[in-house]
A and B are shown apart, each in its own frame.
Chain A
Amino acid sequence: MFASALPRRAGAGFKPEHFADILAEPQPVGFFEFHAENYMGAGGPPHAQLGRLREDYALSVHGVGLSIGSMQPLDRDHLARLRVLCDRYQPESFSEHLAWSTHDSVFLNDLLPLPYTEATLARVVEHVDQVQTVLGRQMLLENPATYLLFAESTIEETVFLAEIVQRTGCGLLLDVNNVFVAATNHNLDPHDYIARFPLAAVREIHLSGHSESVDDVGAPLLIDSHDTPVKDPVWALYQTVLDRIGPVASLIEWDNDVPAWPVLRAEAISAQKLLDAATRRRAA
């Protein structure tokens, strides 16, 4: 099985509007990540762009529609499409979410939460096994940004993820912004969450922005909106993770109100500086 192998550098989420700027000069990023579902047409400019990026950069395929947290079986057609995409681009990594997005035959286009129980754990493990078998590669599973809890949950999220890693051999994509968002939304200490997280399995980190709201009794409710620069407490949490595990592939995600390429690149450079410092500390 092909192990996830992104360079331990900063990367950027690829947006087609940045293509010309990216090609204009060598960019200070180690990899680009793209959303799998946007590249499931047969041809055209999207594939022409990816093929060109592939020549110069490592690639990460990030799925947003497989619905691994569904209680119903995975969509075999969709899995086959992911296989075609991975075969075509031979990306250094494939990742998906601990969430569900399809129910019956309806695709809900959001990363919906699931309760953490023995039953849901067994189902997610089954699905991760199936994905890794079909793709012939290790996948990375991403921790979710959640707004709700479930009365029936009996397992902590960090334990749930550790069990999946243990049973499937998958790696983890640690979304530090999601940690901050979910911890705030559930009144937990994000540093405590990181301390409990199975960090040894982390092969990639996500960094992004969020927006701020409140729930109906006035408590902070953060939204994983991917429409701003990375916020200071998320950078601080990222630094904590790097202190614990050293440099790891780190992606800036910016999916809404997408800025000009230099702005996104500057975020990636900020992450790279922290990665460089972490590398120096390791060497010291």
Chain B
Amino acid sequence: MSATFQSAFASGLFGTTPAPVGLAAWNTATPERRYGVYRNNVTASLTTALASRFPAAENIVGPDFFRAMARAFVAAHPPRSPVLLAYGDEFPDFVAAFAPARDLVYLPDVMRLEIARGQAYHAADIPPLDPTVLAAIDPARLGALVFTPHPTLSILSSPYPMVTIWAMNAGERPLVPIDDWRDEHALVARPHLAVEVTPLSPGGAVFFRRLTTGATLATAAESAMSEHSGFDLSDNLAVLLRSGAFTAINQDDSDENPNHA
């Protein structure tokens, strides 16, 4: 088979163009229906892969709507790797621009939360920071601590009740009307075998985002407080210890010894 023919066979799989030439059947059947089996397999298997990665989104819109949306995405963004565990990272952005889903303004953020959970599920296994290590540090030096993020860690923020909507559609909470429609933030990590979603305050999201990018504890706390006056450091330190979101601590000595990087 020439490479050209393989191109023709492949390019028709996402569309409705006639089957490529050169195909045959034992009888007088035209190749359309037989080629259609492959066409159907490709799209059905990829939409199934997306449904398994975005179960809460599928629950929100229903299987028929989800399939239609996924089919449109698959045709526009076919996978570039045989490892489908990470297929669909662009799906939330696609959904944000997908006209039939326009009214579901929160849906892309719920999907981003599902992506973070999936990434945490498959990321490397590393023991989380032992809380007693932190407890043993001289309180005067706490501010200079820098934390190494766990490979499973993500911090997410949404102007919508992303965590509540996700939890209600993932079977984690009963489905009830949401009275307090507001922004929500979350820390996603898998310190051991189970992926955990920890709600954060707006200031907490700033705090953890700064910590994951290498800020000292003091700098991260100052950023959080300056952006959100209600930021509660002790609450968030409790989350830090409990969530297993970091693997190691280091002293940032740069203030005392600028020559020692």
Q: A120-B1, A216-B33 are in contact. Are A147 and B38 (CB under 8 A)?
A: yes
Flag if A216 contacts B124 (CB, 8 Å).
Answer: no
**Is residue B160 contacting chain A, with contact meaning CB distance below 8 A?**
no
| B83 and A215 contact, CB distance less than 8 A | no
How many A-B residue pairs have C-beta atoms within 8 angstroms? Tell me: 147
Q: Find out whether the CB atom of A151 lies under 8 angstroms from the CB atom of B79.
A: no
Residues of B within 8 A of A37 (CB): 82-85
* Residue B24 CB within 8 A of the other chain: yes
Chain B residues with a Cβ closer than 8 Å to the other chain, count: 47
The distance from the CB of B88 to the nearest CB of chain A, in whole angstroms, is 12
Q: Which residues of A contact B27 (CB under 8 A)?
A: 187, 215, 217, 219
Which of A41, A47, A151 contacts B23, CB < 8 Å? A151
Could you tell me the distance between the alpha carbons of A178 and B30 in the complex, rounded to whole angstroms?
Answer: 22
Check: B128 CB closer than 8 A to any chain A CB.
no
| Contact residues of B between 84 and 135, Cβ < 8 Å to A | 84-85, 120-125
Residue B137 lies at the interface, judged by CB distance under 8 Å to chain A: no
* Cβ B122 vs Cβ A42 within 8 A: yes
- Residues of B whose CB lies within 8 Å of any CB of A are 1-3, 5-7, 9-10, 13, 22-35, 37-38, 41-42, 45-46, 49, 78-85, 120-125, 151, 190, 193
Q: Is A81 an interface residue (CB 8 A)?
A: yes
From residue 97 to 131 of chain A, which have CB atoms closer than 8 A to chain B?
100-110, 112-115, 117, 119-120
Residues of A in contact with B, size category: 35 or more
- Residue ID in chain B nearest A110 by CB atoms: B41
Whether A108 lies near B122 (C-beta < 8 A) is: no
A44 within 8 A of B: yes
Give me 8 A-to-B residue pairs in the complex whose CB atoms sit less than 8 angstroms apart, sorted by A's number: A78-B82, A103-B10, A109-B41, A109-B84, A148-B25, A151-B23, A216-B32, A221-B37
A216/B30 in contact, CB under 8 A: yes
Residues of chain A within 8 A of B38, CB atoms compared: 110, 112-113, 147-148
Measured between beta carbons, the chain B residues less than 8 angstroms from A78 are: 81-83
Docked pose: A186 CA to B31 CA in angstroms: 12
A48 within 8 A of B: yes
Minimal beta-carbon separation of A277 from chain B (angstroms): 35
Q: B33 to A221, Cβ gap below 8 A? A: yes
Give A44 to B32 CA distance when docked, in angstroms. 43
Residue of B nearest to A67 (CB): B82
